Amino acid sequence: MIALDDIRKSFKGRIGLSEPLARYTTFRIGGPADIYLEPLDKADALSLIRYLRHEKIPFFLMGNGSNLLISDEGITGAVVNLETGFNYLKIDGDGVITAGAGVKLAKFVDFCISNGKGGAETLAGIPGTLGGAVIMNAGAYGGEISDHMLSVELIRGERLVKIAKEEGGFAYRTSSLQGDVVLEASFEFPAGMPESMKATRRQTMLKRNTSQPVQWPNAGSIFKNPPGDYAARLIQECGLKGRMVGDAEISGLHANFIINRGGATARDVIDLIRIVRDEVKSRFGIELELEIKLVGFDRNPVE
């Protein structure tokens, strides 16, 4: 039971009840959250997380809602969104850039370029916030967000701590921060030429916009690439481009994307995921691993 009066004693941010979550996801899919919370600063976030953990109230940390499939039934417990209170960027006298967890990656890339810092350009176009990108070690075209990272400030258990990059367990599309609440991260990028960086960003965005179904709601790549291969190639070889379940469709432009053609449900997407995994396993003997996160399901729905 969530006692709203207890939360309101020290919480300064916005509170929503039975908040529909589809509007907060890039897939435009998902049922309601029991309670939706937007902390305004570190003190607000720390007191909230301490309360939720002390009361054993389950909570889910949401950023831009990309790389995510929320169940049609929604999420039991609390959803915490850091976009409002942690949407800041700053650079110090030594050139170290610090970004709040709620900053969109596109804004982060632009800030780095405008300050003559190179190395973030390949992240252009990834539809997420910095906090989620750090936890998932997001990347594209050979670069990862952890490449130039110095440290991460986060809530671990009921304490606010700062850890060095080396303590984060960063690997391909994962880290050891899955149970933590990332609030901000600091980076040290080498100097770069603004025009060259802008050109790389343009090329990255052009490549994304011409090779991915950006005109339809989607959650990004559905599956991780298996070692030495590409999930999209395997799915395409199985002849699955264009396969539909309800209003969910395997994109004809990029086979590792499932698009929402308007009224897709989480169940439609899950059924398509099962079809893909079964076909790829049958034909190639490869078990594709999900890159998107499944949230709000009682059990793993694709097993």
By C-alpha distance, which of 249, 203, 204, 201 is closest to 222? 249
- 230-248 confidence digits (pLDDT tens): 999 999 999 999 999 999 9
Q: Does domain 215-295 have CATH number 3.30.450.20?
A: no
Strand, helix or coil for residue 16: strand
Catalytic, 221? Answer yes
Stated length of the chain:
303
Residue 285 exposed, middle or buried by CB count within 10 Å (0-12, 13-18, 19+): exposed
Query: What is the model's pTM?
Result: 0.85
Catalytic, 173? Answer yes
Q: Where along the chain do its domains lie?
A: 4-81, 89-197, 215-295
- 14-53 confidence digits (pLDDT tens): 999 999 999 999 999 999 999 999 999 999 999 999 999 9
Do the domains at 89-197 and 215-295 have one common CATH topology? Answer: no
The side-by-side arrangement of strands in the sheet containing 32-38 is: 14-20, 32-38, 75-81, 59-62
Residues 100-120: what's their mean pLDDT?
93
Going from the C-alpha of 4 to that of each of 18, 35, 51, 229, the distances in angstroms are 13, 9, 11, 49
- 142-197 confidence digits (pLDDT tens): 789 999 999 999 999 999 999 999 999 999 888 999 889 999 999 999 998 888 88
Fold of 4-81: 3.30.43
2 backbone dihedrals φ, ψ, rounded to 5°: -95, 120
By C-alpha distance, which of 201, 179, 223 is closest to 67? 223
Instruction: For residue 294, give every residue at least 6 positions away whose Cβ sits within 8 Å of its Cβ, in sequence order, or none.
Output: 69, 71, 270, 300, 301, 302
Residues 42-66: what's their mean pLDDT?
91
Confidence of residue 66 (pLDDT cuts 50, 70, 90): confident
Instruction: For residue 151, give every residue at least 6 positions away whose Cβ sits within 8 Å of its Cβ, in sequence order, or none.
Output: 162, 163, 164, 165, 185, 186
From the candidates 146, 175, 221, 251, give the one annotated as an active-site residue.
221
* pLDDT surpasses 80 at 141: no
From the candidates 53, 173, 267, 274, give the one annotated as an active-site residue.
173
From the candidates 121, 153, 184, 291, give the one annotated as an active-site residue.
291
Q: Does domain 89-197 have CATH number 3.30.465.10?
A: yes
